[in-house]
Amino acid sequence: MTDEELQVMKSAVRILTRRPHSRKELIDKLMARDFRYPAVLAVIRECEKHGYLNDRQMVEDYADELAARGHGDFKIKLKLRSKGLSPDLITEKLEALNEDSPPAERAEQALEHRLPALNREKDPRKRREKAYRFLASRGFDGESIRAALEHMENDDEDY
Protein backbone atom coordinates (compact mmCIF):
# COMPACT_ATOMS: atom_id res chain seq x y z
CA MET A 1 0.00 0.00 0.00
CA THR A 2 1.12 3.51 -0.77
CA ASP A 3 1.27 6.24 1.86
CA GLU A 4 -1.91 7.78 0.49
CA GLU A 5 -3.72 4.44 0.63
CA LEU A 6 -2.60 4.00 4.23
CA GLN A 7 -4.08 7.39 5.11
CA VAL A 8 -7.31 6.45 3.33
CA MET A 9 -7.36 3.10 5.16
CA LYS A 10 -6.95 4.81 8.54
CA SER A 11 -9.87 7.10 7.76
CA ALA A 12 -11.98 4.21 6.50
CA VAL A 13 -11.35 2.16 9.63
CA ARG A 14 -12.19 5.15 11.83
CA ILE A 15 -15.44 5.64 9.93
CA LEU A 16 -16.37 1.96 10.05
CA THR A 17 -15.73 1.62 13.78
CA ARG A 18 -18.56 4.05 14.55
CA ARG A 19 -21.25 2.15 12.63
CA PRO A 20 -21.56 -0.05 9.54
CA HIS A 21 -21.62 1.78 6.23
CA SER A 22 -22.56 0.80 2.71
CA ARG A 23 -19.98 0.88 -0.06
CA LYS A 24 -21.48 4.08 -1.46
CA GLU A 25 -21.58 5.82 1.94
CA LEU A 26 -17.95 4.99 2.61
CA ILE A 27 -16.84 6.17 -0.82
CA ASP A 28 -18.76 9.42 -0.37
CA LYS A 29 -17.27 10.07 3.07
CA LEU A 30 -13.73 9.32 1.93
CA MET A 31 -14.10 11.47 -1.20
CA ALA A 32 -15.41 14.32 0.98
CA ARG A 33 -12.10 14.18 2.82
CA ASP A 34 -10.31 15.01 -0.43
CA PHE A 35 -8.72 11.63 -1.05
CA ARG A 36 -8.06 10.64 -4.64
CA TYR A 37 -10.51 8.23 -6.24
CA PRO A 38 -8.00 5.48 -7.18
CA ALA A 39 -6.74 5.30 -3.59
CA VAL A 40 -10.30 5.24 -2.27
CA LEU A 41 -11.25 2.37 -4.60
CA ALA A 42 -8.18 0.39 -3.58
CA VAL A 43 -9.08 0.78 0.08
CA ILE A 44 -12.73 -0.11 -0.58
CA ARG A 45 -11.62 -3.35 -2.27
CA GLU A 46 -9.32 -4.08 0.66
CA CYS A 47 -12.09 -3.43 3.19
CA GLU A 48 -14.43 -5.75 1.29
CA LYS A 49 -11.73 -8.41 1.07
CA HIS A 50 -11.23 -8.35 4.85
CA GLY A 51 -14.97 -8.23 5.57
CA TYR A 52 -15.04 -4.72 7.04
CA LEU A 53 -17.47 -3.64 4.35
CA ASN A 54 -20.34 -5.88 3.24
CA ASP A 55 -23.42 -4.44 1.55
CA ARG A 56 -25.34 -7.73 1.79
CA GLN A 57 -24.82 -7.85 5.55
CA MET A 58 -25.69 -4.16 5.81
CA VAL A 59 -29.04 -4.79 4.06
CA GLU A 60 -29.78 -7.75 6.34
CA ASP A 61 -28.95 -6.00 9.59
CA TYR A 62 -30.46 -2.59 8.84
CA ALA A 63 -33.70 -4.00 7.40
CA ASP A 64 -34.13 -6.25 10.44
CA GLU A 65 -33.48 -3.30 12.75
CA LEU A 66 -36.03 -1.10 10.96
CA ALA A 67 -38.64 -3.88 10.92
CA ALA A 68 -38.11 -4.45 14.64
CA ARG A 69 -38.68 -0.73 15.21
CA GLY A 70 -42.08 -1.00 13.53
CA HIS A 71 -41.41 0.29 10.01
CA GLY A 72 -43.20 -0.92 6.91
CA ASP A 73 -41.80 -2.10 3.61
CA PHE A 74 -41.96 1.29 1.91
CA LYS A 75 -39.99 3.06 4.62
CA ILE A 76 -37.46 0.22 4.89
CA LYS A 77 -36.91 0.31 1.13
CA LEU A 78 -36.57 4.09 1.17
CA LYS A 79 -33.98 4.10 3.97
CA LEU A 80 -31.96 1.29 2.38
CA ARG A 81 -31.96 3.03 -0.99
CA SER A 82 -30.80 6.26 0.63
CA LYS A 83 -27.71 4.38 1.79
CA GLY A 84 -26.91 3.45 -1.80
CA LEU A 85 -27.64 -0.25 -1.43
CA SER A 86 -28.51 -2.43 -4.39
CA PRO A 87 -32.22 -2.61 -5.32
CA ASP A 88 -31.81 -6.34 -5.94
CA LEU A 89 -30.48 -6.89 -2.41
CA ILE A 90 -33.27 -4.75 -0.98
CA THR A 91 -36.00 -6.65 -2.86
CA GLU A 92 -34.51 -9.98 -1.86
CA LYS A 93 -34.38 -8.98 1.81
CA LEU A 94 -37.92 -7.57 1.85
CA GLU A 95 -39.27 -10.80 0.38
CA ALA A 96 -37.49 -12.81 3.08
CA LEU A 97 -38.63 -10.38 5.77
CA ASN A 98 -42.26 -10.62 4.65
CA GLU A 99 -42.12 -14.41 4.82
CA ASP A 100 -40.87 -14.29 8.41
CA SER A 101 -43.16 -11.52 9.61
CA PRO A 102 -45.92 -10.30 7.29
CA PRO A 103 -46.38 -6.53 7.00
CA ALA A 104 -49.87 -6.69 8.55
CA GLU A 105 -48.42 -8.40 11.62
CA ARG A 106 -45.69 -5.77 11.93
CA ALA A 107 -48.32 -3.04 11.53
CA GLU A 108 -50.36 -4.57 14.38
CA GLN A 109 -47.29 -4.58 16.62
CA ALA A 110 -46.50 -0.94 15.79
CA LEU A 111 -50.10 0.01 16.48
CA GLU A 112 -50.09 -1.80 19.86
CA HIS A 113 -47.28 0.48 21.03
CA ARG A 114 -49.28 3.49 19.90
CA LEU A 115 -52.58 2.44 21.51
CA PRO A 116 -52.24 4.36 24.79
CA ALA A 117 -51.94 7.61 22.88
CA LEU A 118 -54.71 6.66 20.45
CA ASN A 119 -57.10 5.66 23.22
CA ARG A 120 -57.09 9.25 24.50
CA GLU A 121 -59.11 10.16 21.42
CA LYS A 122 -62.80 9.69 22.26
CA ASP A 123 -64.21 9.82 18.73
CA PRO A 124 -63.77 6.35 17.11
CA ARG A 125 -63.59 7.79 13.59
CA LYS A 126 -60.82 10.22 14.54
CA ARG A 127 -59.01 7.45 16.43
CA ARG A 128 -59.09 5.24 13.36
CA GLU A 129 -57.86 8.12 11.15
CA LYS A 130 -54.97 8.83 13.52
CA ALA A 131 -54.03 5.16 13.59
CA TYR A 132 -54.16 5.03 9.79
CA ARG A 133 -51.96 8.13 9.45
CA PHE A 134 -49.50 6.76 12.01
CA LEU A 135 -49.08 3.46 10.16
CA ALA A 136 -48.88 5.20 6.79
CA SER A 137 -46.09 7.42 8.11
CA ARG A 138 -44.27 4.27 9.19
CA GLY A 139 -44.30 3.03 5.58
CA PHE A 140 -47.06 0.43 5.64
CA ASP A 141 -49.31 -0.08 2.63
CA GLY A 142 -53.07 0.37 2.77
CA GLU A 143 -53.85 -3.34 2.84
CA SER A 144 -51.59 -3.95 5.85
CA ILE A 145 -53.00 -0.92 7.63
CA ARG A 146 -56.60 -2.02 7.10
CA ALA A 147 -55.80 -5.53 8.31
CA ALA A 148 -54.11 -4.15 11.43
CA LEU A 149 -57.01 -1.82 12.16
CA GLU A 150 -59.58 -4.59 11.71
CA HIS A 151 -57.59 -6.87 13.98
CA MET A 152 -57.36 -4.21 16.68
CA GLU A 153 -61.06 -3.36 16.41
CA ASN A 154 -61.99 -7.03 16.68
CA ASP A 155 -59.77 -7.50 19.75
CA ASP A 156 -61.05 -4.47 21.59
CA GLU A 157 -64.54 -3.16 21.07
CA ASP A 158 -63.52 0.15 22.65
CA TYR A 159 -61.03 0.73 19.87
pLDDT digits (tens, 9 = 90+) for 27-49: 999 999 999 999 999 999 999 99
Q: What is the band of 157 on the pLDDT scale with cuts at 50, 70, 90?
A: low
**Do residues 149 and 136 touch, judged by C-beta distance below 8 A?**
no
In this prediction the pTM is 0.86
Task: Examine the pLDDT at 156 and tell me if it is beyond 70.
Answer: no
SS (H, E, C) the chain: CCHHHHHHHHHHHHHHHHCCCCHHHHHHHHHHCCCCHHHHHHHHHHHHHHCCCCHHHHHHHHHHHHHHCCCCHHHHHHHHHHCCCCHHHHHHHHHHHHHHCCHHHHHHHHHHHHHHHHCCCCCHHHHHHHHHHHHHHCCCCHHHHHHHHHHHHHHCCCC
Task: Examine the pLDDT at 119 and tell me if it is beyond 90.
Answer: no
Give the rounded percent of residues in the chain with a pLDDT score beyond 70: 97
Mean pLDDT of 76-91: 96
**Average pLDDT in the chain:** 92
Mean pLDDT of 99-121: 91
Q: What is the band of 159 on the pLDDT scale with cuts at 50, 70, 90?
A: very low
Mean pLDDT of 149-158: 74
